[in-house]
Structure formats: structure tokens, C-alpha cells
Amino acid sequence: MLLQVKVYLIATLYFFGALYVILFPPRNYVMSGAKMRKVRSASKHIKFTNYIDYEMLLNIAKNLTREDQEIAHVVHLSPRTINNRSILALELRSDKQSRKPGILIIGALNGMTWGAPNAIMELSDKLLYNTNYQTPFFNDYDWYMVPLANPDGHYFTQNLHSRKPLDVEIWCRNTTAQIDTRPSVWYKNVDKENHNETCFGTNINRNFAYHWQDDVHKTPTRCSQYYPGKKPFSTAEAQALRSYIHELGDSIQLAIHLHASFVLKKEFILYPWRYSLRQPSSYNTLQAIGEYAARKSRLPDGRLYEVHQGSNDARVAGTISDYISGVVGTELVYVVKPYHEQFPNYTDKATLETYVTKSISTILSLVRGWRKSTKQNTLTFFGRDVEF
């Protein structure tokens, strides 16, 4: 008798439970957009196998936003660069109705990080179309991607890739040699301050107005690859990024500058400050999340990323990461530097894939580290923390 009552009771409870879910579906289910998307890429291999240039980026972005207007949105930042290119931002939001914690990823500020647009677009594609990435990564955050922050510099270096290299210092001063050789490296954009200049270009990642030029005793010369500009924000790129970053403001909780290390077996996860040895206020959290990410994204040969404050190696002022941290006030800011060859073999897909895979894994590990630090991914069962 008692048993029967219990059975009815439970059946009734289940019935109302089911009714409730049908009448009031969880918001995410209907509105997230996640369910409407198709799974297109579950492949382990990369989708974009050539270095993505500006034109291709425009096409990919156009395709994405045409197919998924609800969740993918393209913004052209202004002002345009001196070669009339607009820096492109791709915004991915799983839920139009509500704002979620924002993650900003900026890539290819340096003219040699050819793989960064690939890494960021590959990650965007996975977030949108690969179910393994939708929960937790896509559905829990708003993603703001700037895959190619220095389009002129990238066009310049990629366009010259098949030429014979010449030491950059000599190249800058010899206009005859410039006709059929390429500089050995190029970190800058290509802007000119005077028409008759042989040395041109400004290092965008030295051009931000937070302790600009505070690190050096002597301003780098016009020809240097670290030339910081006549004044802070002299470059269109830094201006465009500044406006965008300020517009996003508080919605950004985690910012990552996807950079590259050009030294073999020297790979880094860095955080502010880069201009000063002074520790940031969130030093312990930054270091802990960085170390967690390093463990989770162990490098293919078993090494770990070196994790520390940016200024430990060398003091560098006017960087975008210090600006975001110091002026915008974002607490979690990282610079990720996986190894990247300079002027890699343009058709070698394996080199590109290695950089892309490492970058994605490191970015997502930082997100995981952050979730863990805020216990966003932890449930407590009988006093034990269980991660998911």
C-alpha cells in the first residue's frame, strides 16, 4: 500500500517535471543558437591549410556571417591603415539576449606571426561548428577575435617571401637592394613619416600610450624594428585597436595577445607588466592560471611553456597587453608565444599546423585555468570538488 502511494507520487512528480521542461524550456536550449548550428568540422586536422592573408580573411568572415548571422558578427575597425585596409574583428556570441563574460583575442600585431590569423580563425571555426568546443567554450562566453591586427605588415612580408634575404639593417638603407631582396625580419607595419624616407614602419606593439618609452634609455632609431612611433598612438592600427578595446571595456574579462617566439625551444606565457618589474595586483592569480595552462598544453616534445611576468626577460614599454591591463583595467591579460619560424616555408603545411595547434590548445587552457580559478567548472559533491 505504502509502496504504491510512493510509486504514484514519484510518477506524478516526474510528470510535472517533464511538463515544466516543455512549458518553460531552459533559456539556452531555445535561444543560445547552439542547437541550430550544424556540425561541420569534427576533424582533428586543421581546416585552413594555407597562410591566411587579408583577402582570404575577408572572404572567410563574409562566409561565416552570411551563414550564421545570429551568432557571428564582423566589425571593421577604423581608422584604416595607410594602405587602406580595415582591421577586422569577428564577434561570436552564442546568445543574443544576454551578455556573457568576454574573451578578447588579438593576433598578428607583429609582421612575422603569419600563423596567428590561421590559429584564431581555426579556433573560431571550432567554436562554431565542432560540438567538442561548444560546451563549455562557446556557450559560456562571448568571443571577440581580432585575427590580423597588422594587415599591412603581413601583406608586406608575405609578398616578399620568395626573395633572397638581406640583413634588415642593410636592407633598410639600400634602396637598390630593396628592389630584389627582402629584409631578414620585419616586425613593424609599413607607415612612413616623410615621403623621402628609406627607413619606414612602426612597431605597433610599442606604440600604445601606457608608459610609452618608459623602458629605454635611448629611443630606438627610425630604422629599428622596435621603433615606437613619433608619439603614442601614431599608428592607425593602435588607434583602431584602442577604440575597439574601449568600446568593449568591461565586457572583456580575459584578454590574450597571440604572439610568437622566434627562438627555438623558448616558448612563453607572459603577463603584465612588461614595462616594469613592479608586480601587478593580480600577480598570484595570473601566475597560477598561467602555470595551469602550461601544464594542460604541454608542448609536443614534453617541455612546458615558461610562465612569468613579461618584464622578467626584458623590459618593453608601450605594449598592447600593458595598455589593456593598465588603462582598460582588465585583470587577466596574457601574451602567448609559441615558437614560429620567421619566413617559414610558405607551402609547408606541417609547420603551420604545429603553430596553430599549439596556439589553440594554449588559449583554451588559459580559459580552463580561469574557469578553475573562479570555480566556474566545479561542482561540490559531499565536500569534494569535481571538475567538469
Provide the H-helix boundaries in 35-115: 54-67
Among 63, 78, 281, 378, binds ligand NAG (CB under 6 A): 63
- Closer residue to ligand NAG (CB): 57 or 245: 57
CA angle 239, 100, 283 (to 5 degrees): 70
Q: How far is the CB of 272 from ligand NAG (least distance, A)?
A: 35
Binding span for ligand NAG by CB under 6 A among 283-291, 308-316, 329-337, 344-352: 344-352
Counting contacts by CB under 6 A, is residue 196 touching ligand NAG?
Answer: yes
Q: How far is the CB of 72 from ligand NAG (least distance, A)?
A: 13
164-183 burial, b if ≥16 CB within 10 A, otherwise e? eebebeebbeeeebbeebbb
N- to C-terminal Cα separation, the chain: 42
Q: How far is the CB of 364 from ligand NAG (least distance, A)?
A: 23
Residue 32: alpha-carbon gap to chain centroid: 23
Counting contacts by CB under 6 A, is residue 84 touching ligand NAG?
Answer: yes
Distance (Å, whole) CA 37 – CA 72: 12
Q: How many CB atoms lie within 10 A of CB 146?
A: 26
- Closer residue to ligand NAG (CB): 44 or 164: 164
- Closer residue to ligand NAG (CB): 58 or 209: 58
Binding span for ligand NAG by CB under 6 A among 1-9, 18-26, 146-154, 340-348: 340-348
- Closer residue to ligand NAG (CB): 189 or 205: 189
Q: How many CB atoms lie within 10 A of CB 222?
A: 17
Which of the residues 156 through 175 are near ligand NAG (CB under 6 A)? 174
Q: How far is the CB of 165 from ligand NAG (least distance, A)?
A: 12
Binding span for ligand NAG by CB under 6 A among 24-32, 153-161, 281-289, 343-351: 343-351
Residue indicated by cell numbers 595552462: 293
Distance (Å, whole) CA 297 – CA 366: 9
Q: Provide the grid cell at 244.
A: 575597439
Distance (Å, whole) CA 285 – CA 82: 39
Residue indicated by cell numbers 603553430: 355
For residue 171, give the amino acid letter: W
Among 31, 34, 56, 209, binds ligand NAG (CB under 6 A): 56
Q: How far is the CB of 348 from ligand NAG (least distance, A)?
A: 4
- Closer residue to ligand NAG (CB): 55 or 250: 55
Residue 186, CB-side half-sphere exposure with 13 Å CA sphere: 28
- Closer residue to ligand NAG (CB): 60 or 112: 60
Q: How far is the CB of 267 from ligand NAG (least distance, A)?
A: 23
Mark residues 271-310: x for contact with ligand NAG by CB under 6 A, - for none.
----------------------------------------
- Closer residue to ligand NAG (CB): 60 or 106: 60
CA angle 312, 238, 78 (to 5 degrees): 155
Distance (Å, whole) CA 270 – CA 257: 10
Query: Residue 22, by phi and psi: left (phi above 0), alpha (psi -120 to 50) or beta?
Result: alpha
Task: Return the closest-CA partner of residue 150 out of 93, 206, 72, 214.
Answer: 206
Among 75, 82, 168, 177, binds ligand NAG (CB under 6 A): 177
Counting contacts by CB under 6 A, is residue 194 touching ligand NAG?
Answer: yes
Q: Contact residues for ligand NAG (CB under 6 A)? A: 56, 59-60, 63, 84, 174, 176-177, 194, 196, 345, 347-348
